[in-house]
Amino acid sequence: MNMIRGKQQKSEVEPEELASNTGRQIRLHGCIYKIRKMKGFAFVLLRTKREVLQCVYTPEKADFPLEQLKEESAVIITAEVIAEERSRTGYDLHLISVEILSEPEMESPIVINNKIVDTSIEKLLDYRPVTLRNEKQRDIFKIQEGIVCGFRQFLRKEHFTEIHTPKIVQSGAEGGANIFHLDYFGETAYLAQSPQFYKQMMVGVFERVFEIGPVFRAEKHDTSRHLNEYTSVDFEMGFIRSFYDVMEMETAMLHSAMLYLKENCAPELTRLNVSLPRTEEIPSIRFHEAKEWIANEYNRKIKDFDDFEPEEEKLLSRLVEEKTGSEFIFVTHYPSKKRPFYAMDSSEHANETESFDLLFRGLEVTTGGQRIHNYAQQAAKMERLHMDRDLFDSYLMMHRCGMPPHGGLGLGLERFTARLLGLENVRLACLFPRDINRLLP
């Protein structure tokens, strides 16, 4: 028997360690991103875990011919670290020798090593395994990781427990037709549209819970803002006094995440030229007031009194930004008929709910609200909606056995990322998007 001792052999330096190795000869690995031949020398850009490093090849210093290097080869270089102001990272790596670990079998079918991958969105997605190697493409997902880390760090600090709930379910939480069917050992099952029922149940256990995981919507929309599978950031909290507590919590979470990005994703934010939104405070407005405001300001007729048209969301965001400077706006008190059966109805107006959406730069990124915690109240609402209570036995078990007042929200990670980075299509904020026409890669 051998013994594995959890030690990594460190014969190479990390890209973060260049500063402390100035003037020294180091070994470092990466993939060759781009070779730029100049007069008498060449720049060799090396893609490492996070940064693209600038190497300099000169025939005088290197013990190998430049022709040995191919773009997308995986290599270990030996090089001297030279401080160089003009280099983006502040250092050049003067190549001495190279060990080639692997070589591509063909050139990339699409040019990926320019500033921008200059192609259609369809091609960008078709060739995802290679187009994601583009520096700015991968920056999107490093920032997305930062958003998730920021959210998670905040929620844990606020005593939320992270949970994992099933994605194969016997009944959908959101209702409607937009649910995927599944053959489950001869029975019909569904893919979860949200972790709604489960996170509510877990409020009875841990009081505050969150989950960041996939949800599935069989919507046939083929728009720039819909995905059929997306990552939902869900939290749910007990002992709220009203859904305003949920909005306060979301505001603090967003603010905390923006600070996290500032501290931890500065290189990516700079490369993508992102300006982070102000999140110290977010205005809120009632749904019907917002509808009227938009109608008055833009001289539009209200067609749908129960929901926004996409155009109205954009116009509202514009109005709010003009008036308050905020790129976010909470819209509250949505009509009951547009909200699911577990939404708590307003005590003031029977047709409204204690709920909200959050719009960010013209697009809804969050839906949330207070839920019904009282069994009699939930049973009565289901009766009014002609729902079969027997199908929701285990969900209603929690109400019957006692639940604190509670509420929560779901935030679409890809939508939020796309809005934050100014991407015109939500697919661009998803590594491998699923839409009505796309199952690959």
Residues 174-213 that bind its own copies (CB under 8 A): 180-185, 187, 189, 191, 197-198, 201-202, 204-208, 213
Give yes or no for a contact between 87 and 54, defined as CB atoms under 8 angstroms apart. yes
CA atoms within a 13 Å half-sphere pointing along the CA-CB vector of 342: 26
Residue 244 binds its own copies (CB under 8 A): yes
CA 82 – CA 177 distance, rounded (Å): 61
Nearest to 254 by CA among 365, 140, 370: 365
Give yes or no for a contact between 316 and 293, defined as CB atoms under 8 angstroms apart. yes
Contacts (CB under 8 A) with its own copies, residues 269-298: 279-285
Angle between helices 413-421 and 135-157 (to 10 degrees): 120
How far, in Å, are 25, 157, 279 from residue 260 at the CA level?
A: 34, 14, 13
In the set 351, 394, 422, 424, which binds its own copies (CB under 8 A)? 394
Q: How far is the CB of 431 from its own copies (least distance, A)?
A: 6
In the set 19, 38, 83, 101, which binds its own copies (CB under 8 A)? 101
Q: How far is the CB of 295 from its own copies (least distance, A)?
A: 17
Q: Which is nearer to its own copies, 37 or 164 (CB)?
A: 164
Q: Which is nearer to its own copies, 138 or 381 (CB)?
A: 138
Q: What is the CA radius of gyration of the chain?
A: 26
Lay out the site mask for its own copies across 305-324 (x = CB under 8 A, - = otherwise).
---------------x--xx
**Region of 88-96, 153-161, 345-353, 360-368 interacting with its own copies (CB under 8 A):** 153-161
In the set 220, 262, 349, 389, which binds its own copies (CB under 8 A)? 220
| Block residue for tokens 């500033």 | 115
In the set 13, 35, 132, 274, which binds its own copies (CB under 8 A)? 132
- How many residues belong to the chain? 441
**Region of 18-26, 38-46, 52-60, 235-243 interacting with its own copies (CB under 8 A):** 235-243
How far, in Å, are 18, 22, 200 from residue 371 at the CA level?
A: 53, 59, 9
Residue count, binding to its own copies (CB under 8 A) = 130
Q: Which is nearer to its own copies, 278 or 314 (CB)?
A: 278
Lay out the site mask for its own copies across 372-391 (x = CB under 8 A, - = otherwise).
-xxxx---------------
Phi then psi for residue 66, to 5 deg, are -55, -30
The 3-state DSSP class for residue 385 equals coil
Q: How far is the CB of 85 from its own copies (least distance, A)?
A: 26
